[in-house]
Amino acid sequence: MDTSLLVLGIVIFLALAFDFINGFHDTANAIATSVSTRALPPRTAIIMAACMNFLGAIIFTGVAKRIGGSVTDPTKLDNGIEIVIATLVAAIIWNLLTWWFGIPSSSSHALIGALAGAVYIGAGPDHIKWSGFTEIVEGLIFSPIIAFVIGYIVMTILKWIFAKRSPHTVNKGFRTMQILTAAFQSFTHGTNDAQKAMGIITFALVTSGRLDTMEVPLWVKISAATAMALGTSIGGWKIIKTMGTKIFKIEPINGFAADISAASVIFSATLLHLPVSTTHAITSAILGVGSAKRFSAVKWGVAGRIIVTWFITIPISAVLAGIIFKILF
């Protein structure tokens, strides 16, 4: 077998492994509120999330093109395949570490940080498109702030509308509505997060000379969507527990508000071809909703630990990818 083809096969395997891990790592966020409020049984929630993730991943590709071409130009890298391998290994390691400790960190941050670090060490700082990298990071930073604000506003409006209604009746109605918002949340996760593995695989195909442009082939779409759906089917119970119970006690009306707020931010980013963190959007929306419900109800110590992880993910992933590149190549 052609050695270059074998190496490309390793890259594709690692990218799909990243997508698989992303599935059980991040999709836990998408269904955490609906599972914690018992709007959906865990098994049903996971099956639904897997199907909706697959559907979202198949339909959109704009984020994949942005991921693959905004940080660096794959056609100008002599060692692009090696850079991609270091990127994926670093991102996978970070995702597994944060999953093990039940910390909802961002797969998007891990991948972008790792790619920048691998390019910096493997090809030099001149090969990083700093404007494109900055634009992606700005999207990753501002999206959770927007999700927090929207979550706060939506929950405030719902409190005002249903203030005089029986809490039991209100929660019963919103428990049903949560099924729809959980499905929408999972769909938007597929439209954005699955695109990242597609972008990396397409990046590898371009840098190896097997593609001329960043147009995502159909087989790449299907492979990434399937890997994401399979990962989703495994579930991420550690993260579900953190998201659904440890930030504040979520009731169905809160879960509905958080889900619709986060999903709206993620889907808007997808339409703008911007990669954002599903984890950050959902966590921030939950924090915003909790603050609107009662500021003191939020366990800010847990929230603080999550936020610290957000800030350290990009630099740690970048350093880790640089070290891995040096070790392997």
DSSP string, 317-328: HHHHHHHHHHHH
**pLDDT value at 152 more than 60:** yes
- Roughly what angle, to the nearest 10 degrees, separates helices 80-100 and 194-207? 160
Residue 236: predicted pLDDT: 54
At 266, give phi and psi (nearest 5°). -65, -45
Domain definitions of the chain by residue range? 3-328
Span 56-80, pLDDT tens digits: 888 887 788 777 677 888 888 888 8
**pLDDT value at 6 more than 80:** yes
Span 96-112, pLDDT tens digits: 888 777 676 777 788 88
Q: Could you give the CA distance from residue 255 to residue 60 in angstroms, rounded to a whole number?
A: 26
Residue 261: predicted pLDDT: 95
pLDDT band at 1 (very low <50, low <70, confident <90, very high): very low
Residue 248: predicted pLDDT: 55
Average predicted confidence (pLDDT) for the chain: 84
Residue 186: predicted pLDDT: 87
Q: Are 236 and 98 in contact (CB under 8 A)?
A: no
DSSP string, 123-147: T-GGGS-HHHHHHHHHHHHHHHHHH
Residue 317: predicted pLDDT: 94
C-alpha distance from residue 54 to each of 108, 115, 273 (Å): 18, 25, 18
C-alpha distance from residue 285 to each of 77, 86, 90 (Å): 39, 33, 28
How far, in whole angstroms, is CA 44 from its chain's centroid?
Answer: 21
**pLDDT value at 3 more than 70:** no
Span 9-59, pLDDT tens digits: 999 999 999 888 877 766 666 777 787 778 888 778 888 888 888 898 888
% of the chain exceeding 70 in pLDDT:
91
Span 172-215, pLDDT tens digits: 889 889 999 989 988 998 888 878 888 889 888 888 888 888 78
Q: Which residues contact 69 (CB under 8 A, 6 or more apart)?
A: 132, 203, 214
